[in-house]
Amino acid sequence: MSDAIVSTNFSFPGQKSFYKGKVRDVYNINDEYLVMIVSDRISAFDVVLPKGIPFKGQVLNQIAAKFLDATADIVPNWKIATPDPMVTVGHLCEPFKVEMVIRGYLTGHAWRQYRDGNRLLCGVPMPEGMKESQIFPSPIITPTTKASEGHDEDISREEIIKQGLVSAEEYEMLEKYTYSLFERGTSMAAEKGLILVDTKYEFGKKDDKIYLIDEIHTPDSSRYFYAEGYEDRLAKGELQKQLSKEFVRQWLIENGFQGLEGQTVPEMTDDLVDQISERYIELFENITGDKFVKGDLANATMRIKNNIEHFMTKES
């Protein structure tokens, strides 16, 4: 679909570098600020799919902005402004080389490990006798390495400190922030009839100060269940009704793709792209409680460029 913004190639005043991630285009301005454009690219199984999803970037950017604002009292975050529906401008921080994954429920990767007989995940014990999607006695933090390419790997707290990825003192702070952010996200989700199941947070440093960076509590970085019917489905051993991009992964699995060598991404029809776009808008409205206002797609690339340059001119 031509409406999706799948790439940008701007040149801003003071631009030092450009980084293209799976979903985000990131511009370094004077080694001080980042301009992050959340594109409409979509990835699953660490693979960027061949077609973009209209409005997906706006959905992710605006959800993240809402939750960054709602948690700024817990930990400073990188966000300075959102000059465009698909753009956040913020502080350039040196990222910690770990992602803080926190799980309130036994599902996804944790469940697959558990089902296969493992009772330790990232050095954290999981109780015997649990069922898929059951709540943990208390949330557990199961960090991963932050891979520059390829898959992130599970890692224990002890190994993180031993390898010097994060100092013991700073890791304690990251844990504290992670638990507090998850608690806030959980209560905000409950107000919308949702359960925040698991999520990940990324942190960085600037001027010796720890900042929360990147996106938080979006359907790309988090998993939500619908609270209504949760207990009933759990008792019957049924799959939970999810609010995440799990539906995209499921479609790929059903069509024989899990990112493994030799596998080909199935064809994405325009109808499928429309369905995914509608699902992301539904996710936005359920998670935030706000009505989604679609950005103007006419000359969207030019709109993004102009909004960023206007903001930068105003700030300079």
Domain of 70, CATH number, reads 3.30.200.20
Query: Does residue 131 share a domain with residue 228?
Result: yes
Query: Does residue 194 share a domain with residue 113?
Result: yes
Indicate whether 8 belongs to any domain. no
Domain boundaries, position 278: 15-93+264-315
pLDDT beyond 60 at 2: no
Query: Does residue 205 share a domain with residue 128?
Result: yes
Question: pTM to 2 decimals?
Answer: 0.92
pLDDT beyond 80 at 74: yes
Query: Does residue 106 share a domain with residue 87?
Result: no
Q: What is the pLDDT of residue 148?
A: 61
- CATH number of the domain that residue 165 is part of: 3.30.470.20
45 backbone φψ class: left, alpha, beta (φ>0; ψ -120 to 50): left
Q: What is the pLDDT of residue 246?
A: 81
* Least confident segment among 67-76, 146-155, 192-201: 146-155
- How many domains is the chain partitioned into structurally? 2
